Amino acid sequence: MTKNYLKFKNRIRFVSTLIMFFWVVFIYELFTIQIIDRVENPQGMKVEMIKGKRGNIFDINGNNITQNLTFYNIGVRPTKITNKDTFLRDLSDCTGTDLGIYISKFNVGKSYVQLEKKTIRNCQKLKSKYGDALIINQDYKRYYPEENLFGQIIGFTNVDDVGISGLESQYNRYLEPKIGSRVFKSNGLGKRISDPTLPYEAPEDGSDIYLTINKEYQAILREELIDQIEKTEASSAMGIILNPQTGEIVSMVSVPDFNPNNPQDFEVEYQKNRLLLDTLEPGSTFKVVTIAAALKNDINPIDEYNVEGPYNFHDIKMIEDSVPHSVLTVKEILAYSSNIGTIKIAESLGKNKIYNQAKEFGFGSKTGLNPTGEESGTVYEAKRWSLSSMHSVPIGYEVSVTPIQIAMAYAAIANGGFLLKPYMIDEVKKSDDTILKNQQKLRKRILSQSDAEILKDMLSYAVENGSGKGARLVGWDVSGKTGTSKKVINGEYSESEFLASFVGFFPKEDPQLLALIIIDGASVSSNYHWGSMSAAPVFKSVMQRIINIDKEITDKKFNKKLKAKNSDPVLLQKNDKKSQDIEIVEMPNVIGKNVNSAFMTLAKKGLNPKIVSGMGVIISQSVEPGSKIEKGTRVELKAEIKS
Task: Examine the pLDDT at 578 and tell me if it is beyond 70.
Answer: no
pLDDT number for residue 185: 67
At 626, which CATH number? 3.30.10.20
Alpha carbons 105 and 82: distance in angstroms, whole number: 17
Domain that holds residue 626: 584-640
Last residue of a domain, one of 561, 579, 597: 579
At 354, which CATH number? 3.40.710.10
pLDDT number for residue 226: 96
Q: Is residue 630 part of a domain?
A: yes
458 plus 507 within the same structural domain:
yes
CA-to-CA separations, 497 to 195, 307, 491, in angstroms, rounded:
73, 27, 13
SS3 393: helix
540 plus 614 within the same structural domain:
no
Alpha carbons 396 and 612: distance in angstroms, whole number: 29
Apex 292 CA angle, 326 and 379, nearest 5: 105
Alpha carbons 437 and 427: distance in angstroms, whole number: 4
463 plus 588 within the same structural domain:
no
596 plus 635 within the same structural domain:
yes
Alpha carbons 578 and 555: distance in angstroms, whole number: 25
H or E element that contains 138: strand 134-143
**Average pLDDT taken over every residue of the chain:** 86
- Is residue 418 packed enough to be buried (19+ CB in 10 Å), middle (13-18) or exposed (0-12)? buried
Total residues found in the chain within this entry: 643
The 10s digit of each residue's pLDDT in 521-534 is: 999 999 999 999 99
pLDDT number for residue 396: 96
511 plus 630 within the same structural domain:
no
346 plus 436 within the same structural domain:
yes
Q: Is residue 482 part of a domain?
A: yes
State phi, psi for 126 to the nearest 5 degrees. -75, -15
Task: Examine the pLDDT at 558 and tell me if it is beyond 80.
Answer: no
CA-to-CA separations, 50 to 77, 116, 139, 181, 327, in angstroms, rounded:
21, 19, 10, 5, 75
Closest C-alpha among 473, 527, 490 to residue 233: 527
State phi, psi for 244 to the nearest 5 degrees. -70, -15
The 10s digit of each residue's pLDDT in 197-211 is: 777 778 889 999 999
The 10s digit of each residue's pLDDT in 83-95 is: 888 999 999 999 9
617 plus 474 within the same structural domain:
no
Q: Is residue 323 part of a domain?
A: yes
494 plus 597 within the same structural domain:
no
Alpha carbons 339 and 387: distance in angstroms, whole number: 16
Percent of the chain residues past pLDDT 70, beyond the cut: 87
CA-to-CA separations, 518 to 58, 409, 426, in angstroms, rounded:
27, 16, 26
* Residue 32: pLDDT band with limits 50, 70, 90: low
536 plus 624 within the same structural domain:
no
* Average pLDDT for 22-29: 70
Other residues' Cβ atoms within 10 Å of the Cβ of residue 52: 18
State phi, psi for 64 to the nearest 5 degrees. -65, 125
SS3 91: helix
The pTM for the full model equals: 0.76
507 plus 592 within the same structural domain:
no
Alpha carbons 210 and 438: distance in angstroms, whole number: 10
475 plus 609 within the same structural domain:
no
pLDDT number for residue 29: 67
Tally the domains of the chain: 3
Q: Is residue 201 part of a domain?
A: no
Q: Range with the lowest mean pLDDT among 133-142, 313-322, 457-466, 577-586? A: 577-586
* Residue 43: pLDDT band with limits 50, 70, 90: very low
381 plus 354 within the same structural domain:
yes
